[in-house]
Structure 1
Amino acid sequence: MSTTDTDVGGAITLTADELDPFVTHAGTRDRLTGPGLPCDGALLAFDTLREHGLRTVADLAGDADKLAGELRDRLVVGALRSLDRDLESILLDGTTGEVSSAYVRRDPVHLDLAPLAPSLDALLSFAAATEELTLSRGGPGPFGPRTVAQVSDRLSAVFEDAAGAEVPPYWRMAALIRPLARIAGPGEGLVLGLPKRLLDEEFGAGEIMRFEDVDFPPALTHEPTRRFLRESGLPEDGFLFQLDTEMPLPPLTEYYADEHPDAFSAGLLPPAADRLIRLGPLLEDTSLVMDGSTGAVLAWSEPDLTLRPLNADISTLAFTLWLLHREKTVDAAHHLSDSYEQLAATLTQTLATVDPASCDRTPALPGDDGRRHWPELFEDRSVGMLYA
Structure 2
Amino acid sequence: MSTTDVAAATITFTEDQLDPYVTHAPTRHWLTGPGLPSVGALLTFAALREDGLRTLAESADGGPDLAQELRDRLVIGELLAPAGMEAESILLDGGTGAITTSYLLELMDDRPLAPSLEALVRFAAVTEELADLRGQFASFAGRHGTEAAADASRRLLALFEEGTDGQVPPYWKAAALIRPLALATGPGTERGLTLDVPGRLLDQEFGHARVARFEDVDFPATLTHEPTRRFLRETGLPEDTILFQLDTDVPLQTLTEYAADDRSGTASPFELPARADHLIRLGHLVEDNSLVVDGATGEVLNWSEPEARLFPLNTDVSTLAFTLWLHHRERAIDKYLSHELTTQAYDQLAATMLHVLAAVDQTATTTDADWHYWTRAFQDEAGGAL
TM > 0.5 fold call: yes
Question: Is the Cα contact below 8 Å between 1:136 and 1:353 reproduced in 2?
Answer: no
Q: Measured at CA, do residues 231 and 96 of structure 1 come closer, stay the same or move farther in structure 2, by a change above 3 Å? A: same
1:298 is the counterpart of 2:301: yes
Cα distance in 2 for partners of 1:199, 1:301 equals 27
SS at match of 2:143: coil
Deviation at 1:136, TM superposition (A): 6.1
Match of 2:363 in 1: 357
How far 1:299 moved relative to its partner? 0.2
Tell me, yes or no, if structure 1 residue 11 matches structure 2 residue 10.
Answer: yes
- CA distance, structure 1, for counterparts of residue 187 and residue 267 of structure 2: 40
Change (3 A) 1:64 1:277: closer
Contact 1:215 1:249 in 2 (8 A): yes
Cα deviation, 1:327-381, whole Å, max 9, x if unaligned, reads 111001222101111111111111111112134335xxxxxx8621111111111
Q: How does 1:207-226 map to 2 (within 5 A)?
A: 207-226=210-229
**Aligned-partner Cα distance in 2 for 1:383–1:206:** 28
CA contact (8 A) 1:79 1:86 kept: no
Q: 2:94: which partner in 1?
A: 94
1:141-152 map, 5 Å? 141-152=142-153
Q: Report the CA distance between 1:6 and its aligned residue.
A: 2.7
How many angstroms apart in 1 are the aligned matches of 2:267 and 2:240? Answer: 26
In the TM superposition, what whole-angstrom CA distance separates every residue of 1:98-126 from its partner, at most 9, and x where no partner exists? 111111222x3x2x121111111111111
SS of alignment partner, residue 384 of structure 2: coil
Worse-superposed segment, 219-228 or 251-260: 251-260
Q: Which amino acid is 1:257 matched to?
A: A
State how far apart, in whole Å, the 2-side matches of 1:66 and 1:324 are: 36
**Aligned to 2:17, what secondary structure does the other structure show?**
helix
1:327 aligns with 2:330: yes
* Secondary structure at the counterpart of residue 17 of structure 1: helix
Q: Percent identity?
A: 56
* 1:201 corresponding residue in structure 2: 204
Counterpart Cα distance in 2 of 1:46 and 1:263: 57
Segment drifting more, 30-39 vs 293-302: 30-39
Give the alignment's Cα RMSD to 1 decimal.
2.1
CA distance in 1, matches of 2:97, 2:199: 48
1:52 matched residue in structure 2: 51
Unaligned runs of at least 5 residues, structure 2 = none
Higher mean alpha-carbon deviation, 209-218 vs 281-290, is at 281-290
Map of 1:366 onto structure 2: none
Other structure's SS at 2:311 match: strand
Q: How does 1:259-338 map to 2 (within 5 A)?
A: 259-260=262-263, 262-264=266-268, 268-334=271-337, 335-338=340-343
Which stretch of the first structure deviates more once superposed, 49-58 or 133-142?
Answer: 133-142
Structure 1 residue 66, shift from structure 2 partner: 6.5
SS of 2:281's equivalent in the other structure is strand
Matched to 1:314, the amino acid is V
**Runs of 5+ unmatched residues, structure 1:** 363-368
Query: For 1:144-223, what aligned pairs fall within 5 Å after superposition?
Result: 144-187=145-188, 188-223=191-226
Q: Does the 8 A contact of 2:312 with 2:367 survive in 1?
A: no
Question: 2 CA distance for matches of 1:103 and 1:136?
Answer: 31
